[in-house]
Chains A and B, each alone.
Chain A
Amino acid sequence: MSTTEPVSEETVSSHAAGLRPIDRVRLARDPQRPSTLDYIAELFTNFVELHGDRTFGDDGALIGGLATFHGRSVLVLGHQGGSNTRENLARNFGMPKPEGFRKARRLMRHAEKFQLPIITFIDTSGADPGIGSEERGQGTAIAESLLEMIGVQVPIICVVIGEGGSGGALAISLGDRLLMLENAVYAVASPEACAAILWKDASFAGEAADTMRVTAADLQRFGIIDELIVEPVPAHEAPRETIVAVGLRIAAHLDELVHRFDVSDPGSVERLLKERYAKFRRIGAWHEA
């Protein structure tokens, strides 16, 4: 999008030739692909995980805490699934419940109070579709997180590292910068759900993925993401290299934002929020007769 300074070229990696969108969906979901906790372990120090929404419970599918990133204290938030069945059950397959989104909102307020930048990692198939989640206001919890994020008075950098699944992904991706790994995907609905509704058969997910334009290259072309981070090989084949590459890009954007916006200066904060507003205000495809 318009405001970002030097970003990498829109390039695709050599391994990507011939990859269909649905292949990227599979890569994005690979259980061995680096997760939020892997990024935290590699890129951050002094991580202190903070638990709970102070209302109902703690959600292992959306984690957060304070950490040091390039010499600076930050709030880090991210979706977290599991790489095996046991972990997946404990973390509800990375699908947050309302308490997860409410924890995210609480921690964002915390970050604002102590003027800490926010870094989020997006990696979820979506918000939990369960009876309890509906009882506790899943839609409301996501909406509250969005409302918090559009107005929080510190810089926010968001990175789609795996699957960006619908509202559950959006809930923590409303930032000043949206970066995306080459083999990550970000979609309004899963290709399977889209196929089930429009093809009446989930096995047409490949066709749905084609027409839904879910890849980072598509979203860069649409101006919805700010930067595509190339994966020379799929992330799970070179986890450390991928994580380091992502870390460098986060650092570059964070440096730029911190340099341009002084969170202790009200005028500067106002400009930050104005720019964030404009970033989302302009997204859409329509024309006026």
Chain B
Amino acid sequence: MRSFFQRQGKFRPRSSEEATGDSAIPEDMWVKCPKCGELIYSKELDHNDRVFPKCSHQFRLNARERIALLADDGSFEEWDSGIQPEDPLQFVDPKGAYADKLVSTQQKTGETESLITGSSRIDGRPSVMVVTEFAFMGASMGSVWGEKLARAVERATREGLPVLTVNASGGARMHEGLFSLMQMAKTVAAFDRLGRARLPHFSLLIDPCFGGVTASYATVADVILAEPGALIGFAGQRVIEQVTKQKLPADFQTAEFLLDHGMIDLIVERALLRATIATLIDHHVAPSRPSFSANGHEAGDLLAGTDDIARAVNAEPVRHSAS
């Protein structure tokens, strides 16, 4: 069994506990599954891509863990990490100034912002990878997000690369006011140009993805994937309940609900994500090659050629369509 979580060096992912500043928690601790309530050794959970083996509950990954999951070892090169947020409104709420909140959040998460962009290889395929960090102010979309994403997509357009975006978000960042809202326009505009260059955008929606990100580039991708059980929607559930005074369906705004309603292309288990995305890249970037797998396997051989597949084939079958 391969672990993404024992790598050393620059791209060694930090665990979620470290990322939230709770580094004192020992590595081998028991974790309770919020879905089935059973306990699991945290190391064992890590070994299983943070998917609970019994009930398939998907624990959230932080951005660096997500990159380690999807990008080939050591292939991720971060771009534009020097772009820093500002406080154009001089926004203040009861908890204090946004400017201070930014500093403390940067210290807490070790990230400069809620979006990380860069180049990567996915099972050997060169691609641009864009990943959100939910621990950074709920992965809210502000000016830095928009600028980094626009630059990454423009560079992908110039260099002829496919783009994978991995999207969790609480929505537009209120602290940057209309600047945040306008990032929806800015990012969609950049992806429009990528599309006109016939380069694909694959959007992976992960738990939770709401608001301005759902209402912009993330839902007009060429292929939209989601993780099982991820909550995805435009309006938050509390708002909908308050406004409509109606009881929400049990599976409301889950990935399965969106698939049922025709809003996404497919739901993919974590263990199969990398291979699925690699195959999608092949279909779009080199569709006329008879045998297009980077490892020399036949077209359409989804499970071939990656070392994390041995485990995948033993896992539950991938859900590619509504049951």
Chain A residues with CB under 8 Å of chain B are: 127, 129-131, 133-140, 142-144, 146-147, 150-151, 166-167, 170-171, 174, 186-189, 193-194, 197-199, 208, 211-214, 219, 222, 224, 276-277, 280-281, 283-289
Contacts and interface: CB of A to CB of B under 8 A. Distances in A.
B80 to A, nearest CB: 8
Contact of B215 (A167, A208, A276): A167
Nearest to B172: A188
B244 A131 contact: yes
B155 interface: no
Given A134-B253, A136-B261, A138-B234, A277 B193 contact: yes
Interface string B177-198: 1111111111011111100100
Interface string B235-258: 100011001101011001100010
B181 to A, nearest CB: 4
Contacts of B193: 277
B189 A277 contact: yes
A277 B287 CA distance: 30
Given A151-B192, A199-B94, A280-B186, A289 B84 contact: yes
Name the residue among A134, A167, A214, A283 with the largest chain B CB count within 10 angstroms.
Answer: A134
A212 B186 contact: no
22 contacts: A129-B234, A129-B244, A131-B252, A138-B215, A138-B233, A139-B215, A143-B215, A143-B220, A147-B188, A147-B220, A166-B212, A167-B172, A167-B215, A186-B178, A188-B178, A188-B181, A198-B93, A277-B189, A280-B185, A283-B185, A283-B186, A285-B85
Contacts of A142: 215-216, 234
A284 B179 contact: yes
A145 to B, nearest CB: 9
Given A137-B219, A138-B234, A289-B82, A283 B249 contact: no
Contacts of A284: 143-144, 146-147, 179, 182-183, 186
Nearest to B244: A130
Contacts of B211: 139, 167
Contacts of B220: 140, 143-144, 146-147
A212 B83 contact: no
Nearest to B258: A137
Contact of A222 (B85, B178, B184, B215): B178
B181 A170 contact: yes
Contacts of A213: 89, 177-178
Interface string B26-68: 0000000000000000000000000000000000000000000
A285 B188 contact: no
Contact of A212 (B91, B214, B248): B91
Chain A: interface secondary structure?
Answer: helix
Interface size class of B (residues with CB under 8 A): 35 or more
A4 to B, nearest CB: 17
B102 to A, nearest CB: 11
B322 interface: no
Interface of B: 80, 82-95, 143-144, 146-147, 150, 172-174, 176-186, 188-193, 196, 211-212, 214-220, 233-235, 239-240, 243-244, 246, 248-249, 252-253, 257, 261-263
B134 to A, nearest CB: 16
B252 to A, nearest CB: 7
A65 to B, nearest CB: 25
Nearest to B196: A151
Given A137-B261, A198-B174, A222-B88, A130 B243 contact: yes
A188 B91 CA distance: 13
Nearest to B246: A131
Name the residue among B88, B188, B212, B248 with the largest chain A CB count within 10 angstroms.
Answer: B188
Name the residue among A129, A151, A174, A276 with the largest chain B CB count within 10 angstroms.
Answer: A129
B104 to A, nearest CB: 16
B248 A131 contact: yes
Contacts of A129: 234-235, 239-240, 243-244
Given A147-B188, A166-B212, A224-B182, 14 more contacts: A137-B262, A140-B215, A142-B216, A146-B216, A150-B185, A198-B94, A199-B94, A208-B93, A213-B177, A222-B88, A284-B143, A285-B87, A285-B176, A286-B85
B252 A287 contact: no
A130 B243 CA distance: 8
Name the residue among B177, B191, B211, B263 with the largest chain A CB count within 10 angstroms.
Answer: B177
A285 B248 CA distance: 38
B143 A150 contact: no
